[in-house]
């Protein structure tokens, strides 16, 4: 099974399978730790900013992907300013809080923002790719049905719509809302 996140496209190419995936950086940053006060996720689609407080007290601030394909995991000043502006707009008392760090990861995006799960064009090579910007919330259920698929050598019925073929047949699964901040 190919399930290597931002490296999915490259790894599949090594097997001769070209995935309909393009990779974009996604950045996030955290503030210094604060006492617990934010008990929900705050997200604004118009500001492309979301905030959540980690168990360490840091405010984790995220937003949309960078607008260009790239494998670099460098973070940018542009995005720092954009996320800081969005965060202070949503929660003004954050204006004096310091940032601790900012980072980027590689997200493997499909055209409909949904993953590709199930069979590949090669027999016995399975795909769990294209999770892009919202994969960790889906991990438990994805693992369960991919394990079932491999054990039975048959794509689990719930995964059938996630076939790679949907890009050829235009049976797309639009999931833009699942990213919380539109891209
Ligand atoms: C800044 C940022 C913020 C995010 N925020 C959220 C969020 O709030 N909520 C959410 O649901 N998702 C979020 N995501 C997206 C989430 O991280 C991904 O969708 C998810 O991690 C994808 O899971 P995966 O198992 O497909 O890939 P990964 O989690 O990337 O796992 C792939 C694994 O494969 C390994 N690997 C790579 N190459 C090889 C190889 N050749 N051989 C063996 N192993 C290899 C890697 O080391 C890695 O451990 C965020 C991503 C970023 C970058």
Q: Does residue 28 share a domain with residue 16?
A: no
Q: How confident is the model at residue 183 (pLDDT cuts 50, 70, 90)?
A: very low
**The domain containing residue 62 runs over which residues?**
23-108
**Atom 29 (ligand 1) nearest CA:** 5
Q: Does residue 114 share a domain with residue 103?
A: no
- Cα 93 to ligand 1 centre (Å): 32
For residue 61, being part of any structural domain is answered with yes
- Cα 181 to ligand 1 centre (Å): 18
Q: How confident is the model at residue 182 (pLDDT cuts 50, 70, 90)?
A: very low
Q: Does residue 28 share a domain with residue 56?
A: yes
What is the DSSP code string of the chain?
-B--GGGHHHHHHHTT---S-EEEEEEEEEE----S---S-EEETTTTEEEEE-TTSPEEEEEEEPSS--------HHHHHHHHHHHHHHSGGGGGPPEEEEEEEEEEE-TTS--EEEE-SSTT-EEEE--TTS-GGGHHHHHHHHHHHHHHTS--GGGGGG-TTHHHHT-----GGGGSS--
- Cα 175 to ligand 1 centre (Å): 18
Question: pLDDT at residue 181 above 60?
Answer: no
Q: How many domains does the chain have?
A: 2
Average pLDDT of 62-82?
94
pLDDT the model gives residue 29: 98
Q: Does residue 65 share a domain with residue 135?
A: no
Average pLDDT of 164-183?
77
Q: Does residue 127 share a domain with residue 65?
A: no
Q: How confident is the model at residue 139 (pLDDT cuts 50, 70, 90)?
A: confident
pLDDT the model gives residue 131: 94
């Amino acid at each position: 099974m190919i399930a290597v996140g931002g490296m999915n496209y490259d790894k599949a190419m090594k097997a001769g399978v070209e995935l309909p995936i393009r990779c974009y950086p996604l950045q996030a940053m955290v503030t210094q730790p604060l006492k617990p006060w934010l008990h929900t996720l705050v997200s604004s689609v118009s500001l492309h900013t979301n905030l959540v407080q980690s168990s360490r007290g840091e405010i984790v601030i995220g937003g949309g992907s960078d607008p260009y394909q790239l494998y670099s995991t460098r973070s940018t000043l542009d995005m720092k300013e954009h996320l800081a502006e969005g965060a202070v707009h949503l929660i003004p008392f954050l204006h004096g809080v310091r940032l601790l760090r900012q980072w980027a990861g590689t997200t493997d995006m499909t055209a409909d923002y949904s993953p590709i799960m199930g069979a590949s064009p090669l027999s016995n090579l399975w795909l769990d790719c294209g999770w892009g910007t919202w994969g960790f919330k889906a991990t438990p259920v994805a693992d369960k049905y991919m394990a079932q698929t491999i054990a039975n050598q048959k794509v689990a019925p719930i995964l059938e719509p996630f076939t790679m073929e949907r890009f050829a047949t235009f049976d797309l699964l639009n999931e833009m809302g699942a990213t919380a901040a539109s891209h």
